[in-house]
Amino acid sequence: MPEFIAYLLLGIYLLGMTFIFVYSLAQGHLLLHFLKARRNKSELKLLKNDFPMVTVQLPIFNELFVVERLIESVAKLNYPTDKLEIQILDDSTDETVQIIQEKIKEFPNINFQYIHRFDRQGFKAGALREGLEKASGDFIAIFDADFIPEPEFLLHTLPYFSSDNIGMVQSRWTHLNEKYSLLTRLQAFALDAHFLIEQTGRNHQGAFINFNGTGGVWRKKCILDAGNWHDDTLTEDLDLSYRAQRKGWEFVYRPEIESPAELPPVMSAIKSQQFRWTKGGAECAAKHAGNVLREKHPFVVKFHAMAHLFNSTIFIAVLLVSLSSLGVWWMGDQGLLPRESLKIAGIFLIGFAIIALVYLFSYVYREEKKSKSLLEAIVLLPIFLSVSMGLGLHNAQAVWEGLTGKKSPFIRTPKFNLEGGKSKLKNNLYLTFKMPVTTWFEGLLALVFIAMVVLAILHHNYLFLPFHLMLAFGYTLVFITSFNSYALGR
C-alpha cells in the first residue's frame, strides 16, 4: 500500500510537470517568433488624411481618484473634433457621477456623451454594448479608467486598419507606477512578458491574439459581426476576440504604440484582478476550445489557441506539483521510490527554465540599458516565480470555478492614482475586500514549505530544496501582503 501511494503521488507530480513542460514549449515557440519579429522593426505610422469617425468609450464604475485624469487625457487626443465622439459609460454609485459631470464642462468644444446606467446589467460588457448602440463612430477605441492615452494614439493606431478584414488593433500597456513597490515591479515583470513576447509571438505567426480590454481600437462592424459584447464570462475582451477571429477577422498588435496605465499597489486588489482574469480565461476556454479544435485552422493556430485559452490552468498544475512533491520527497527519503524515478522527475524542471527565459528576454528587450536590465531581471526573476507559485492556491480556485461553470459577479480592480497624490491606501473606501479563507491556507502552506526546507537540510536530501525554498518564500510573501492589504480597508 505505501508503494502504491508513493507511485500515485509520483504520477500526479509527473502529470503536473508534463503540463507545465508542454506549456513551456508553447512559450518557447512564441519567444522564437518574437525574436524573428524583432528583425522586422517598423516605425510608427501616422494618419494624415481621410479621418474616419471614431467613438472613444470610457467604461467607468466608482473611479473617484482617476476619472478626472482620464477625462483630461482623452480631451487631449489629437484628432479632428468633428470626427471624434467620447462616450463616458458611467455605472457609478458614488460621487464619481458629480465629478464627471463637472469635469466635462471644462471642455465645451469636445463631443462628450455622458451615459449613466443605474442597474449595471452585464457590468462592463453591458455598458460597452449599450454604448455601441448609440455610437456614431466606424471605429471604437476603449480605455479603462486607469489609463492615460497618448495624444497621438488614434493617429498611430488607425493606419493599421489597412484592409477591410482587420477588425482590431491592440497597443502595448506600459506602467505609470512600476517603481512604486516590489508588488508593482513584479506585476510589470509579468505583463511585459505577455505584451512583448506572447502578443508579438502569436501575431507574427498568424495565431489568435486577444484584445486586452483597453488600449485598443475595434472596427465597429467587426464587433457587431462577431455577436457584440457578451457578459457570460468575466473576460468579455478575450471572449469577443475569439469569436471575431474564429469568423475570419484579423487582429494587429503594435508593441511600439504605448498605452500607460496604473498597476494595483496592494495584494487584495492584485488578487481581485488575478481572480477575474484567471477565472474568465477558464470560462472562455470552456466556451471556445472545442469549437477552435473542430474548425478548420492550421495546427499552429490550434496549438497556440489551446495554450492561450488554458494558460491559467498552469496554476492548478503548479498547485498539484507543489503538494505532491511533499509526498514524493518523503517517499523517496524513505526508500519507497527508486532514485532513478526521482531523477526522471527532475528532468521536467526544464519547463520552468524555458518559462524563466521568456521573462528574462521580455525584461531585457524592454530596457535600453541591456546589461543593467539583465542584472535587474536576474534579481527579480526568482522573486517573481516564487510569488507566482504563492498565488497558486488562490488562482487555482478561480480556474476551477471557471472550468466547472460556477458564476460570480464582475468585481472591478480599484484604482488609486497614488503617483498623483489623489488617494491614500489606509482606510481607502475602495479597499472593501473581505479576506477569504484561502488566505489562511496560504499561511499554512508557507509554514509547511518552510518545514520542508528545514527537513531537506537536516536529512541532506536536496532534490526539491530550490523548489520548496521558492514556495516557502512565495506563500509567505503572499500571505503577509494579503493580510496587510485586507487590514488597510478596515
Q: Which residues are catalytic?
A: 91, 237
For 456, half-sphere exposure in the C-beta direction (CA atoms, 13 angstrom radius) is 20
DSSP string, 31-63: HHHHHHHHHT--PPP---S-PPPEEEEEEESS-
- Listed in sequence order, the DSSP H helices in 310-431 are 314-333, 339-347, 350-366, 370-390, 392-404
Q: Which of these, 184, 191, 406, lies nearest to 280 by C-alpha position?
A: 406
User: How far, in Å, CA of 342 to CA of 463, rounded?
Assistant: 8
User: How far, in Å, CA of 149 to CA of 260, rounded?
Assistant: 7
C-alpha grid cell, residue 395: 488562482
What Cα–Cα distance (Å) separates residue 285 from each residue in 193, 207, 275, 400?
21, 16, 15, 12
User: How far, in Å, CA of 283 to CA of 408, rounded?
Assistant: 11
What Cα–Cα distance (Å) separates residue 230 from each residue in 89, 106, 233?
17, 34, 7
Grid look-up 495624444 returns 151
Q: Would you tell me how many other CB atoms lie within 10 Å of the CB of residue 72?
A: 13
CB-based burial, 470-479: b 16+ in 10 Å, e otherwise:
bbbbbbbbbb
Identify the bridge partners of residue 139 per DSSP, sorted by sequence position: 54, 219
**Is there a contact between 47 and 155 (Cβ–Cβ < 8 Å)?**
yes
User: How far, in Å, CA of 430 to CA of 418, rounded?
Assistant: 13
User: How far, in Å, CA of 108 to CA of 14, rounded?
Assistant: 64
Return the amino acid letter for 407. Answer: K
- Which H or E run includes 166? strand 166-175
**Is there a contact between 225 and 134 (Cβ–Cβ < 8 Å)?**
no
Q: Which of these, 357, 330, 351, lies nearest to 459 by C-alpha position?
A: 330
C-alpha grid cell, residue 166: 482587420
What Cα–Cα distance (Å) separates residue 386 from each residue in 54, 197, 318, 360, 477?
44, 21, 11, 15, 9
